[in-house]
Amino acid sequence: MLIGHQPKDFLLAVSGLTVSFDGFKAVNDLSFYVEDNEIRVIIGPNGAGKTTVLDLICGKTRATSGSIQFRGQELTKLRENEIVQAGVGRKFQTPSVFEDLTVFENLEISFPRGRTVFGSLTFQRDAAVKERVEEVAEMIFLKDRLDTYADQLSHGQKQWLEIGMLLIQDPDLLMLDEPVAGMSVSERAKTAELLNRIIKGRSVLVIEHDMKFVEDIAHKVTVLHQGQILSEGTMEHVKNDPKVIEVYLGH
Amino acid sequence: MIINSRFFNRTELIGFVALALLLFVILPLSLDIFRLNLVAKYLTYAFVGIGLVLCWGYGGILSLGQGVFFGLGGYCMAMYLKLEASSVANTKIQSTPGIPDFMDWNQLTQLPFFWKPFHSFPITLLAIILVPGIFAFIIGAAMFKRRVGGVYFAIITQAIAAIMTILIVGQQGYTGGINGITDLRTLHGWDIRTDHAKFILYFVEVVLLFGCIIAAQFIRLTKLGRILVAMREQEDRVRFSGYSVANFKIFAFCAAAIFAAIGGAMFTLEVGFMSPSFVGIVPSIEMVIYTAVGGRMSIFGAVWGSLLVNFAKTSLSESFPQLWLFGLGALFIAVVLAFPNGLSGIWQDYVQPHIDRLLASRKSKPGNGFPVADGAPAE
């Protein structure tokens, strides 16, 4: 690993990251680097610490030690909303959308303007907002559902809506936690298509179990096991790594 | 008053006009001054209710300590009135003339420093807003920045209400103790005890109430209002959309505190005294009940809830003083279990559809643009 002299052009540089919950190290001295426009998939068995890594990057969980540099900015010291404003977007495993608001209002809230208390009091729903919301709604297949309350949407549609809410934030680093989990076959295909479209021009960090899906999108795969990196490289490399076969992919 | 058709949807507009008619025309014409003054007293709780709709109904922050802010507003007003009533001429029989009577009884010989600004009417008006506002800000910042929320926050606000009562009762010489601040006479030289003054004060209060309704409606319709709803449901998603959740909660809590304080100040003027019995846990919970009965998602509902529950309280507690509290408790449980959206929810689910059908059958449907939002205020 390149500790100490990592080149400057990494978008995300995680080094020596450790978090311990009452002595249990969920993530243990983890280091990895994500480049601009790279699609990185994190795989690993249950409890390997995949979701915890995303939680650490987006500030939901505080690191015990180590550093997370994003465009040279230290994320471990920032609050969650400041990390979002720095350009990191996070999608949760279970769809978390605002069910008492319409699809339009859900997307509007994510529009990156008027994020302070007084900014949101004076926020105007102007043409730029409407245009952007409609544009994103079309991408996430919800263009004709803009006035629908989000609690009326199917599970898959809620997942898309949340992806749309991230899109409208236009983050430089997009983190997706099992984006196709619990989706029907047709929804899954549409989601893959959607993801392939939205990952252009930004870096993406994805947790996924669906190997077919991983092969489709990954530039590089990181395999986590017990909070540490077991293997890292192309899908081809990882698939043939005996250690990975042993603990995760099976014989 | 010019009402933008976007500001109120049709249902809300009907609710607004109906309430305005009732409060500005029907009640003043049909009630004698004693009853009108009672209505004015009930309406002071509507201010608290409007704040609770924003803070609890929309933001999901249940405060069981709104009596504290109601009391702070009321005490600020009472301190000014008391100082005016304690002129040297009025108090020359005291051992220290020129200070409020209860201070004299408690062997104080000098006006405490924090009473001095209340000689000035403008400062008093400012204090009515700022003192509770700043206090709510401090509580909010201390709690919400540390992510204290939900039931824990409710319990802490309740504890603050209890502490406040103990403090006021205990510091008799500075606060008037358990009796409160009584024997208030004039406001800036104008006698507030006459029937005529009570009539005027009623209208001042109703105008202020409508001011608060419009302010609350404005907040509700901005993006901030939608963020409050969003926060209630998915706090993390709001946080990870780039918002500081704590700041929005502080705002809602401060707004609710300021509304409550305006109600408290009006209470002092209408009723002519202020005492710790309007500050503690029981009145604070009663205020939540008024809001729950009226409908916690409805600004107008909060006003109706305050009016109706207090009316019931007055008439029932006259005839069955012991039973009233059980009645109030039963009412609260019934509303929470059967009608979580209170009277406004009942109106919207059972009455509004009939009215809509009636209107639709009478004339060929006009384009009424706006869909009724979920939980939108009904009459």
pLDDT, tens digit (0-9, with 9 covering 90-100), for A147-194:
999 999 998 899 999 999 999 999 999 999 988 887 888 888 888 888
- Phi, psi dihedrals of residue B149, rounded to the nearest 5°: -150, -175
- Residue B62 near residue B154 (C-beta atoms within 8 A): yes
Dump the DSSP string for B86-134: T-TTTTTTSSSTTS-HHHHHTT--S--GGGGGGGSHHHHHHHHHHHHHH
Option in B224, B229, B234 nearest A120 (CB): B224
Q: Give dist(CA A99, CA B170) in Å, integer.
A: 48
Task: Decide: residue B113, CB within 10 A, 0-12 exposed, 13-18 middle, 19+ buried.
Answer: exposed
Number of A–B residue contacts, CB under 8 Å? 85
**Which chain B residues contact residue A162 at CB under 8 A?**
237
Helix (H, G, I), strand (E, B) or coil at A172: coil
- How remote is the C-alpha of B231 from its chain's centroid? 23
Task: Look up the pTM and report it.
Answer: 0.91
* Most B CBs within 10 Å, among A88, A92, A97, A98, to test the B interface: A98
B195-221 and B223-233 helices, crossing angle to 10°? 70
Q: Is B229 on the interface with A (CB under 8 A)?
A: yes
Q: Give dist(CA A191, CA A159) in Å, integer.
A: 9
- Residue B379 near residue B15 (C-beta atoms within 8 A): yes
pLDDT, tens digit (0-9, with 9 covering 90-100), for B241-267:
999 999 999 999 999 999 999 999 999
**Which chain B residues contact residue A105 at CB under 8 A?**
226
Q: Do A79 and B244 touch (CB under 8 A)?
A: yes
C-alpha closest to that of B252 among B117, B12, B59: B59
Q: Give dist(CA A13, CA B92) in Å, integer.
A: 78
Looking at CA atoms only, how far is residue A231 from chain B in angstroms?
A: 30
Q: Is A152 on the interface with B (CB under 8 A)?
A: no
Half-sphere exposure (Cβ direction) of B138: Cα atoms closer than 13 Å: 7
All residues at 6 or more sequence positions from A50 whose CB lies less than 8 Å from its CB, including other chains: A42, A43, A44, A177, A207, A224
Q: Is A135 on the interface with B (CB under 8 A)?
A: no
Q: State the residue for tokens 């490289």.
A: A233
Mean pLDDT of chain B: 90
Identity of the amino acid at B278:
F
Identity of the amino acid at B80:
Y
Option in A100, A122, A162 nearest B374 (CB): A100
- Residue B73 near residue B261 (C-beta atoms within 8 A): yes
Half-sphere exposure (Cβ direction) of B50: Cα atoms closer than 13 Å: 29
Task: Decide: residue B302, CB within 10 A, 0-12 exposed, 13-18 middle, 19+ buried.
Answer: buried
Q: What is the pLDDT of residue A250?
A: 66
The β-bridge relationship of strands A88-91 and A173-177 is parallel
Q: Give dist(CA B147, CA B143) in Å, integer.
A: 6
Q: pLDDT per position in chain B (379 positions), as tens? A: 344 447 888 888 888 999 999 999 999 999 999 999 999 999 999 999 999 999 999 999 999 999 999 999 999 999 999 999 999 998 999 999 999 999 999 999 999 999 999 999 999 999 999 999 999 999 999 999 999 989 999 999 999 999 999 999 999 999 999 999 999 999 988 999 999 999 999 999 999 999 999 999 999 999 999 999 999 989 999 999 999 999 999 999 999 999 999 999 999 999 999 999 999 999 999 999 999 999 999 999 999 999 999 998 888 888 888 888 888 888 888 888 888 899 898 888 888 888 888 888 876 544 444 444 444 444 3
- Residue A81 near residue A115 (C-beta atoms within 8 A): yes
Q: Is B247 on the interface with A (CB under 8 A)?
A: yes
Interface of A with B in 88-127 (CB under 8 A): 89-90, 92, 96-101, 105-106, 108-110, 112, 114-117, 120-123
The β-bridge relationship of strands A173-177 and A203-207 is parallel
